[in-house]
Structure 1
Amino acid sequence: MNTLLAKVEYKWIILTLKQSRATTTTACKAQVSTLPPEPVIPSKKPFKVDLLGGKRYSWCSCGHSKNQPFCDGSHKSKAQGLSPLRFIPEKDGPVWLCGCKHTNTPPYCDGTHKQDFIASASLHQDID
């Protein structure tokens, strides 16, 4: 009786190990990215806007907003992992906000749109 029980336990252990190994192998085939999505390029030129000092603004960092250069919440469904940049200008006046979404000084334009990788890229066009 003990021998029979030992054989059954042994087979159960082997089957359990085979199943967990198959599950692990299958799980490893899935491609999971931890990198945030890249922004799309809605404009190859900056946006000149008049801002009020002390007021909070939300600059679109994903490029999907229909209210460029400001956020309209599109990132929640189209670019999860990206979020708007909230900023408060110190004084009233006109500024140039980045339209290509690749500036090194967000939200302000730094001329990155003049580089070849932006100049040769296609503009994003929403098909909603």
Structure 2
Amino acid sequence: MSILLSKLHPTWIRSTLNSWAMTSMSCSKVMHSTLPTEAVIASKKPYKVELISGKRYSWCTCGHSKKQPFCDGSHKTKAQGLAPHRFVAEKDSTVWLCGCKYTNNRPFCDGTHKSEFITSATLAEESDLKS
């Protein structure tokens, strides 16, 4: 390793070490959120949606959006570890977008909402009423 370091330019070594040091110092100042990063179930059924070819969509992944199945920015305050799933429709079509937020084929429904985990769960709007 010392042979490799001796071949490197000292300015490059200094700047690399400085950037690593700055990164490690800035990481210690990061505030960690105590908000959950797991999606809540918005619906136990998928949403039937008409997509327009070439249009960009933001599918809600957190389950808190009031504009389901699309994102309204609720994750910024209620689920900061999550972000919307962005996609562009390839063609005009009618699709079923996941409402339970646990699909393995984002953003499309794959039938996960039929599992016991989803059918027995509390919906996001029901849990909001309790808090």
Tell me which residue corresponds to 1:66: 66
Give the Cα–Cα distance (whole angstroms) in 1 for the partners of residues 95 and 109 of structure 2: 9
Aligned amino acid, residue 72 of structure 2:
D
CA separation in 1, counterparts of 2:80 and 2:123?
A: 20
Match of 1:103 in 2: 103
Q: How far is the alpha carbon of 1:37 from its aligned partner? A: 1.1
**Segment drifting more, 118-127 vs 55-64:** 118-127
SS in 1 for 2:96: strand
The code of the aligned residue for 2:117 comes to F
- Residues of 1 paired with 2:74 and 2:62: CA distance? 8
Q: Which ranges in structure 1 are unaligned for 5 or more consecutive residues?
A: 1-31
Distance 2:93 2:105 in 1: 18
Where does the alignment leave 5 or more consecutive residues of structure 2 unmatched?
1-31
Q: Which has the larger radius of gyration?
A: 1
- Normalised TM-score (structure 2): 0.69
Residue 120 (structure 1) aligns with: 120
The amino acid that maps onto 2:82 is L
Aligned residues: 96
Amino acid at match of 1:111: G
Q: Distance in 2 between matches of 1:94 and 1:59?
A: 15
Normalising by structure 1, report the TM-score: 0.70
The equivalent of 2:12 in structure 1 is: none
SS in 2 for 1:49: strand
How far residue 122 of structure 1 moved from its aligned partner, in angstroms, is 1.0
What is the CA-CA distance between 1:39 and the residue it aligns to?
A: 0.2
Q: Which amino acid aligns with 2:59?
A: W
Give RMSD over aligned pairs.
2.0
- Structure 1 residue 118, shift from structure 2 partner: 0.4
Identical pairs, percent: 69
After TM superposition, give the deviation of residue 89 of structure 1 in Å.
Answer: 1.3
**CA offsets 1:26-75 (integer angstroms, 9 cap, x no match):** xxxxxx79xx7110001000000001011000000000000000000000
Name the SS for the 1:118 alignment partner.
helix
